[in-house]
Chain A
């Protein structure tokens, strides 16, 4: 079979157009940049009847041209994708075949955007996100990977080969290479090439997204639980507690992250059970947080509180015990029959160290916010009403600190993704054959100058996810500042 080219026969028509438009777009970007300093600024004219007349001039025409070129560029990319989805494999080359594999993701993305945009006025801060272009682009990038992870992880759809199986004679093959012999039901191509162990780069990349999308948000959430549960009292009560906790936070922050990883994530340390003990401590915080949250709210209504609190705590403690106890490790509390799930020890140690690194920063942010919000009148009013300190912290201060915290949450997921990549890059924690992006980059970098594709593909994926999260955070910040 013929190897696939990048855009196939379809590209013969569209490629030149794409190149011309892309070239013009770059020229326009440069022109805009230079124009801002060379030509006169755009002067919009405010008419007496309240309308605005757009100013004319070189800068205004450049801006218009730029907007249309960008639209044209997006339209052409969309044509590639649509053509790829609806034509047989090979017509639109590698791009089309990849787009075809991602078709469930496109449908899910389209549905999300259509629904969200049509109801955006009723959706609060989330709906406001769809007012900012930057926020929408970021959201699209993030959701692309979230949907990919869902479809790969739960429905096993997008990947074309097994991420671990090797096919002979496919070692380091270029993107679009057909398999030498095709068995029944096997996909005929290595879409993005083969790596140095003859595995499919594309399938490994999409399987890697599952690991990142599962660990990064959860680890960030746990770091937030720890940071909030400790940061609120530190900021609110101050004094010795604050000094002590701040000292601990600064201690962890003074550690070079990579040294910490090397100390925590080696097999020798895992054998001593230290990560398990750390998990035991760190996983308690969500229970404390939810417990105090509910108790402080329903303290005055014991009839509702007692069943609610005991029910919620029971379930959480059960999940907690299942999470920390696993057969064969130092902590094995629950008998197998009621142990709900076991966390892979490699994943657990990565998870714990990432939470441990992130929590002190969250602590500092929360503490700073509390110190600021504490001086507001509504806090004084609550104190006068005789509310307890925990009620004030969790139900007066925390909701009012949500804006910066949500923005930081998005940024921090991105940072956690980078940390996970760093761990993989140094070969720490996850097993060496794991398809996560950091490990794959580490695998691919040895032959980078000759065969770049095994490392470039996961590198670009990681970049796009982190970029999406940063843009999303930027959009959220802009929109939350507006009200």
Chain B
């Protein structure tokens, strides 16, 4: 088991290196650098000005060297201009030239400097991740129990009418991407002119004219039921159907197993069969599915945070990608690769742990 985890960690490291190099390569292509120079300097720069801007800041070195500098294996680029200003990878505003370190890469714990937010990447991304963490927590709280309940209810009597209606619901939810359900929810539930809000207001059931808020901007200061319900439900809905279907399949399979038949013949009540005998075995498969669902949730997070203007990780991704904020994008991709690979690892380990029949050879 130890060796297995060690090998997986090695694999993770190689994957992360390859991926960040690809991101590095793509963001450092010349047209992207030109765009960066023009947004940082001004939009009417001549070609020579762009070249000297990029050259002074070390952007025109060969990509592998820049990559190693970003990793912290090579000393960071630095150049002193004629007027005595020091420019380079490790230079930060407010830090004296003599205090500027020679190496500033991931290995030194320095994630770089965001050219858009004008702040260290680690600080910006940290607060964004905290916001997304809250969102994900509530998504999990809503999604997992409801998906499991739907799946178990549908799977315990395969082919029954309950099963068919619940399966239709889960198919419907997997067919509704976040940007569709989000749009429908906002139009129906968060509008002051259409949908449920004005109607409930007329009946005197709610105070304001809208039931929920269409943006989650105020959720950064404090999460309330009103401003956080729609983003959470929008993400949860898309993932829910898939988990529910997996749970249903697993439950249906367990219900046809020999030991369940034995329990039935023994005269155990249906409720006890489901609760005591079937449920525990049926929940092994959904566990791995839920873990593997995390990377998908990441997608949902990007869409929903954009739609509801909630400044979390996904919003930051869109912002950084739109402005070619190279070091921010790299940090974002490291985080997401980390999430993908760690959840894979956990699901593998958890699967072995939950299911004693499987042993890693």
Q: Report if A and B associate in a common complex.
A: yes
- Mark A residues whose CB is within 8 Å of B: 29, 32-33, 36, 63, 134, 247, 250-251, 253-259, 262-264, 266, 268-269, 271-272, 274, 414, 418, 421-422, 425-426, 438, 441, 444-445, 448-450, 452, 455-456, 459-460, 462-463, 466-467, 469-471, 474
Residues of A close to B161: CB separation below 8 A: 32, 36, 63
Whether A448 contacts B186 by the Cβ 8 Å rule is yes
CA distance A36 to B162 in the complex (A): 7
Nearest CB in chain B to that of A36: its residue: B162
Whether B26 contacts A256 by the Cβ 8 Å rule is no
Residues of B close to A463: CB separation below 8 A: 175-176, 180
Whether A456 contacts B187 by the Cβ 8 Å rule is yes
What are 25 A-B contacts with C-beta separation under 8 Å?
Answer: A33-B162, A251-B19, A254-B295, A259-B336, A262-B321, A263-B23, A263-B26, A268-B31, A268-B32, A271-B31, A272-B31, A274-B29, A421-B177, A421-B180, A422-B303, A425-B179, A449-B192, A449-B210, A449-B214, A452-B186, A452-B194, A456-B187, A462-B180, A467-B175, A470-B174
Residues of A close to B18: CB separation below 8 A: 251
Whether B29 contacts A272 by the Cβ 8 Å rule is yes
Residues of B close to A263: CB separation below 8 A: 23, 26-27, 321
Residues of A close to B192: CB separation below 8 A: 449
Residues of B close to A414: CB separation below 8 A: 175
CB distance from B332 to the nearest CB of A (A): 7
Whether A254 contacts B177 by the Cβ 8 Å rule is no
CB distance from A414 to the nearest CB of B (A): 7
B171 at the interface (CB under 8 A from A): yes
B355 at the interface (CB under 8 A from A): no
Which residues of B (276-314) have their CB < 8 Å from a CB of A? 295, 298-299, 302-303, 306-307, 314
Interface-centre pick from A63, A257, A258, A274 (highest chain B CB count, 10 A): A258
Whether B171 contacts A450 by the Cβ 8 Å rule is no
In the complex with contacts A255-B19, A259-B329, A445-B31 CB distance below 8 A: no
B30 at the interface (CB under 8 A from A): yes
CA distance A474 to B249 in the complex (A): 13
Q: Which 9 A-B pairs have the closest CB atoms?
A: A262-B321, A452-B187, A268-B31, A467-B175, A449-B191, A466-B175, A459-B180, A263-B26, A418-B177
B117 at the interface (CB under 8 A from A): no
Residues of B close to A29: CB separation below 8 A: 165
Interface-centre pick from A274, A448, A456 (highest chain B CB count, 10 A): A448
Query: In the complex, which range does the number of interface residues on chain B fall in?
Result: 35 or more
CB distance from A56 to the nearest CB of B (A): 16
Nearest CB in chain B to that of A271: its residue: B31
Whether B298 contacts A474 by the Cβ 8 Å rule is no
Contact of A36 among B30, B160, B167 (CB under 8 A): B160
CA distance A35 to B144 in the complex (A): 26
Whether A426 contacts B306 by the Cβ 8 Å rule is yes
Additional A-B contacts beyond A33-B165, A414-B175, A456-B184 (13; CB < 8 A): A254-B19, A255-B336, A257-B299, A262-B322, A268-B31, A268-B32, A268-B34, A426-B318, A441-B179, A449-B187, A452-B186, A452-B195, A466-B177
Which residues of B (53-72) have their CB < 8 Å from a CB of A? none
Interface-centre pick from A63, A274, A466 (highest chain B CB count, 10 A): A466
B354 at the interface (CB under 8 A from A): no
B172 at the interface (CB under 8 A from A): yes
Residues of B close to A425: CB separation below 8 A: 179, 303, 306
CA distance A418 to B176 in the complex (A): 9
Whether B172 contacts A467 by the Cβ 8 Å rule is yes
Whether A470 contacts B171 by the Cβ 8 Å rule is yes
Nearest CB in chain B to that of A468: its residue: B175
Whether A262 contacts B318 by the Cβ 8 Å rule is yes
Complex interface bits, B311-327 against A, C-beta within 8 A gives 1, otherwise 0: 00010011001101000
Interface-centre pick from A460, A462, A469 (highest chain B CB count, 10 A): A462
Whether A269 contacts B26 by the Cβ 8 Å rule is yes
CA distance A274 to B302 in the complex (A): 25
Residues of B close to A255: CB separation below 8 A: 19, 333, 336-337
CB distance from B212 to the nearest CB of A (A): 11
CB distance from B347 to the nearest CB of A (A): 14
In the complex with contacts A271-B31, A421-B177, A259-B332 CB distance below 8 A: yes
B15 at the interface (CB under 8 A from A): yes
Complex interface bits, B69-87 against A, C-beta within 8 A gives 1, otherwise 0: 0000000000000000000
Residues of B close to A32: CB separation below 8 A: 161-162, 165
In the complex with contacts A263-B23, A269-B26, A256-B295 CB distance below 8 A: yes
Which residues of B (15-63) have their CB < 8 Å from a CB of A? 15, 18-19, 23, 26-27, 29-32, 34-35
Whether B318 contacts A459 by the Cβ 8 Å rule is no
Interface-centre pick from A251, A254, A262, A426 (highest chain B CB count, 10 A): A254
B121 at the interface (CB under 8 A from A): no
B341 at the interface (CB under 8 A from A): yes
Residues of B close to A470: CB separation below 8 A: 171, 174-175
Whether A268 contacts B322 by the Cβ 8 Å rule is no
Whether A441 contacts B180 by the Cβ 8 Å rule is yes
Contact of A459 among B167, B184, B191 (CB under 8 A): B184
Residues of B close to A33: CB separation below 8 A: 162, 165
Residues of B close to A467: CB separation below 8 A: 171-172, 175-176
CA distance A470 to B173 in the complex (A): 11
CA distance A422 to B162 in the complex (A): 33
Nearest CB in chain B to that of A463: its residue: B180
Whether B187 contacts A448 by the Cβ 8 Å rule is yes
B190 at the interface (CB under 8 A from A): yes
CA distance A259 to B318 in the complex (A): 8
Nearest CB in chain B to that of A272: its residue: B29
Residues of A close to B171: CB separation below 8 A: 467, 470-471, 474
Residues of B close to A264: CB separation below 8 A: 26
Complex interface bits, B142-180 against A, C-beta within 8 A gives 1, otherwise 0: 000000000000000000111001011001101111011
CA distance A125 to B186 in the complex (A): 41
Residues of A close to B102: CB separation below 8 A: none
Nearest CB in chain A to that of B306: its residue: A426
CA distance A254 to B174 in the complex (A): 21
Residues of A close to B260: CB separation below 8 A: none
B196 at the interface (CB under 8 A from A): no
CA distance A259 to B332 in the complex (A): 9
Whether B317 contacts A452 by the Cβ 8 Å rule is no
Whether B318 contacts A258 by the Cβ 8 Å rule is yes
Nearest CB in chain A to that of B295: its residue: A256
Contact of B29 among A269, A426, A462 (CB under 8 A): A269
Whether A455 contacts B187 by the Cβ 8 Å rule is yes
In the complex with contacts A268-B35, A470-B171, A449-B193 CB distance below 8 A: yes
Nearest CB in chain B to that of A419: its residue: B177
Contact of A449 among B19, B190, B302 (CB under 8 A): B190
In the complex with contacts A29-B165, A258-B318, A259-B333, A462-B190 CB distance below 8 A: no
Residues of B close to A471: CB separation below 8 A: 171
Contact of B317 among A253, A258, A445, A448 (CB under 8 A): A258
CB distance from A231 to the nearest CB of B (A): 20
Residues of B close to A462: CB separation below 8 A: 177, 180
In the complex with contacts A254-B340, A459-B183, A467-B172, A448-B329 CB distance below 8 A: no
CB distance from B147 to the nearest CB of A (A): 17
